[in-house]
Structure 1
Amino acid sequence: MTDFAIFWDWLSFAVRWLHVITGIAWIGSSFYFVALDLGLRQRPGLPVGAHGEEWQVHGGGFYHIQKYLVAPAEMPEHLTWFKWESYATWMSGFALMAVVYYAGADLFLIDRNVLDVSAPVAIGISVASLALGWVVYDLLCKSRLGKNDTLLMLVLYAVLVFMAWGYTQLFTGRAAFLHLGAVTATIMSANVFLIIIPNQKIVVADLIAGRKPDPRYGRIAKTRSLHNNYLTLPVLFLMLSNHYPLAFGTQFNWVIASLVFIIGVLIRHFFNTRHARKGNPTWTWLAAAVLFIVIIWLSTVPKILTGEPKQAAASEIFVASSHFPAVRDTVLGRCSMCHAAEPAYEGIHQAPKGVILETDATIAEHAREIYLQAGRSHAMPPGNVTAMTPEERALLAAWFEGAGK
């Protein structure tokens, strides 16, 4: 059993590493080509069919790049297709979700205080939601709304807000954020797999057959690519959010997730505008900062975090607190079955992140983590599997905040 646990932990690490590598490759190429597309310039004398060109310098060399909206008169001998970065990112991401959230559904996916279902049912809901998200998005893009970019954007954002709220009614806060990121990433990858690449193949096939390609396919592919560009930063935040319980484990977590999408759009708007040489909209950074402050406030309602004591004797302060005896009983009763030298919880073979909470000293040493993970948010216990009560969470918060004063 111990050997299997070690193997599974390394499997999780390997899949996570693969996901990060492929994600960097996909995001990098996506950002580059959007910036390139926005920076193209037209001039007299361009080859027939060329839409624009740009000169770039990198690594000591100069690059002369030309773009064709449809295709050149003759197909080049070597043509590189940018698609596997997207496919590999999605496949590795889904594999990672299966290894962590599906295999550990009782801990990381299901919160029985939110929705009391079995692991197979929760996994079924998860997979179905990813497919449903793509279907709804694709139908909206192909509807009449697709002809009005602004209206389409507003409707799609309303759908994302609804999904953010909906996921918090189905899963743990951690899993809700991850699924919102996963459904967005599924839309992005499906755009590549089902729209962008097929459209490009139709154009290439027409050109090879001597037919004049329909430029409509290129316009549709470009629109979907731009959607992917604006969705990238929110997806990155949501995928990393499991490290930040004040984002996913608080009362207004779905509002926080919704605001993150606006922040991502604002930041991409800044860079896209700069790359298109249409100005320097620095106001976007101010707006993003204001929204981020709102997120901080939402994560700590009704109080702003008071911080932790900075004195060397902080541990002694926490132990000496009048709240500590009750805090110790709460931690030992709700947390130490996992956070122990020999965990008693089924499936846990070593204390998560090496945090052991069995003595007064170790509980005091991890006071800040206990406060953030279980007092000010519901991140711990995962899925509230040990049924920590609101009164116990209030006790943990009062203990830390009282000692901090």
Structure 2
Amino acid sequence: MQFVPIVWEWAEFALRWLHVITAIAWIGSSFYFIALDLGLRPSADRDHGVGGEEWQVHGGGFYFIQKYMVAPARMPEDLIWFKWESYSTWLTGFALMAVVYYMGAELYLVDPNVLEMPAWVAILVSMGSLAFGWIAYDLICKSKFGEDNTRLMLLLYAILVVMAWGYTQVFTGRAAFLHLGAFTATVMSANVFFIIIPNQKIVVKDLRAGRTPDPKYGKIAKQRSTHNNYLTLPVLFMMLSNHYPLAFASDYNWIIAALVFLMGVTIRHFFNTMHARKGMLWWTWGLTVALFLAVMWLSTFGIYGQRDGGEEAALGPEAQRFAAAAGFEEVHDIVVTNCSMCHAKEPLWEGMASPPKGVMLETTQEVAVHARDIWLQAGVTHAMPPAGSYMMLDDETRALIRDWYAAGIEG
């Protein structure tokens, strides 16, 4: 039975690795084409529909790139589509969320001190919110309101702020940030799947039929692509945040998320303006630094404040098994003695502002809830305590942890 969690852990690692690989491919191609589109110079071949061109050098070779405002006069023999980078990123991300947050809902998704609900309800809320995000966004973009890009972006930002607040009222802080990233990434990938690629296929179909393509399809696709460009950096922040409790564990975490989306705009605005050869807007970096300092300031207030349920919060069925398993009291003493210096509401380790990954191991409840992590980090492997600390566990102590976990699994 203990072999199953090990396989699951490696499956999670493999999915995370694959997700990062596909995300690099998607973000890389997305940023490249935005930079290319903004940097194209007027073409001498404008009469043939060429809207811009650029010479580039890379890897010892020279490249000459041209962009047609609508489409070339004839269909090219070989046409490369940039779509699977986006699809693969979303699919691997959703699979990773299912493995970590759905299968581990009791630990990572549901917080009884925020909102008490069964795991299956939390999972439905999670999936429903992702679907709602795309439907609402798409309808707004297609409405009269969406014809004004500035007005549209302001409304979309307001929706993201509301969703940031809403997620923190339903899930754990860590899951709230992760879901805000998934909410945004779903919109981005759906833009590619439902709008950008279908519009390009319409243009290709018209070319093959000898018709002149309608330029509106390119205009719509460009609008959605621009939205994706400005949303990318906040999504990366949300995905990385689960390793940093100072971001997600503050009582003001939803405001932190709102400021992060603004930082994404200021950073991309600098690079987009630079690529368009309109100068270096250095003030955007000053504003970004100011926003980041505000995030740091907010993170120091109310960490785990009102949501520290302590011993009073009810244990889920799985945690109850480990709390009742043989050897729990002994393991609890081992963990509190060796781990709570760091894994505490107020860590005693010098230079540590918050417990690593937001994991606290001060109470019997917390030890029972984090049984799998304790078993994996300190029982099966020697990851914890860290090699640089003076709190080291011998093989006999680690064996006690493994025996307790086995008893909990079998119980």
TM-superposed deviation, 1:241: 0.3
Per-residue deviation, residues 74-103 of structure 1 (Å, max 9, x unmatched): 111100000000000000000000000000
Partner of 1:183: 183
Mapping 1:6-405, distance limit 5 Å:
6-46=6-46, 48-301=48-301, 344=322, 358=335, 360=337, 362-364=339-341, 367-368=347-348, 372-373=353-354, 379-381=358-360, 386=365
Answer yes or no: is the 8 Å Cα contact 2:43–2:50 preserved in 1: no
TM-superposed deviation, 1:363: 3.7
Per-residue deviation, residues 269-310 of structure 1 (Å, max 9, x unmatched): 00000000011100000000001000111010279xxxxxxx
Cα separation, partners in 2 of 1:25 and 1:7, compared to 1, 3 Å: same
Question: What code does the residue aligned with 1:344 have?
Answer: F
Aligned-partner Cα distance in 2 for 1:14–1:346: 33
TM-superposed deviation, 1:373: 4.2
Q: Which stretches in structure 1 are left out of the alignment for 5+ residues?
A: 304-329, 338-342, 348-354, 389-405
Cα separation, partners in 2 of 1:23 and 1:378, compared to 1, 3 Å: closer
TM-superposed deviation, 1:115: 1.1
Cα separation, partners in 2 of 1:379 and 1:364, compared to 1, 3 Å: closer
Aligned-partner Cα distance in 2 for 1:30–1:18: 18
Aligned to 1:176, what secondary structure does the other structure show? helix
Cα separation, partners in 2 of 1:387 and 1:21, compared to 1, 3 Å: closer
Aligned to 1:358, what secondary structure does the other structure show? helix
Cα separation, partners in 2 of 1:345 and 1:239, compared to 1, 3 Å: farther
Cα separation, partners in 2 of 1:345 and 1:264, compared to 1, 3 Å: farther
Alignment: residue pair count: 344
Aligned-partner Cα distance in 2 for 1:225–1:357: 53
Aligned to 2:82, what secondary structure does the other structure show? coil
Per-residue deviation, residues 226-247 of structure 1 (Å, max 9, x unmatched): 1000000000000000001011
Cα separation, partners in 2 of 1:54 and 1:113, compared to 1, 3 Å: same
Aligned-partner Cα distance in 2 for 1:137–1:364: 46
Aligned to 2:322, what secondary structure does the other structure show? coil
Aligned-partner Cα distance in 2 for 1:13–1:281: 40
Answer yes or no: is the 8 Å Cα contact 1:270–1:281 preserved in 2: yes
Aligned-partner Cα distance in 1 for 2:182–2:143: 24
Aligned-partner Cα distance in 2 for 1:191–1:174: 26
Answer yes or no: is the 8 Å Cα contact 2:251–2:302 preserved in 1: no
Question: What code does the residue aligned with 2:335 have?
Answer: E
Aligned-partner Cα distance in 2 for 1:369–1:202: 61
Answer yes or no: is the 8 Å Cα contact 1:373–1:379 preserved in 2: yes
Aligned-partner Cα distance in 1 for 2:273–2:89: 27
TM-superposed deviation, 1:69: 2.2
Aligned-partner Cα distance in 2 for 1:385–1:88: 41
Normalised by the length of structure 1, the TM-score is 0.79
Aligned-partner Cα distance in 2 for 1:365–1:241: 19
Aligned to 1:344, what secondary structure does the other structure show? helix
TM-superposed deviation, 1:360: 3.7
Aligned-partner Cα distance in 2 for 1:110–1:99: 15
RMSD of the alignment, in Å? 2.8
Aligned to 1:66, what secondary structure does the other structure show? strand
Answer yes or no: is the 8 Å Cα contact 1:109–1:175 preserved in 2: yes
TM-superposed deviation, 1:381: 4.6
TM-superposed deviation, 1:344: 3.5
Cα separation, partners in 2 of 1:156 and 1:101, compared to 1, 3 Å: same
Aligned-partner Cα distance in 1 for 2:106–2:44: 64
Cα separation, partners in 2 of 1:21 and 1:345, compared to 1, 3 Å: farther
Aligned-partner Cα distance in 2 for 1:132–1:356: 46
Normalised by the length of structure 2, the TM-score is 0.78
Aligned-partner Cα distance in 1 for 2:333–2:93: 30
Question: What code does the residue aligned with 2:8 have?
Answer: W
TM-superposed deviation, 1:122: 0.4
Aligned-partner Cα distance in 2 for 1:239–1:256: 14
TM-superposed deviation, 1:386: 3.2
Partner of 1:322: none
Answer yes or no: is the 8 Å Cα contact 1:111–1:385 preserved in 2: no
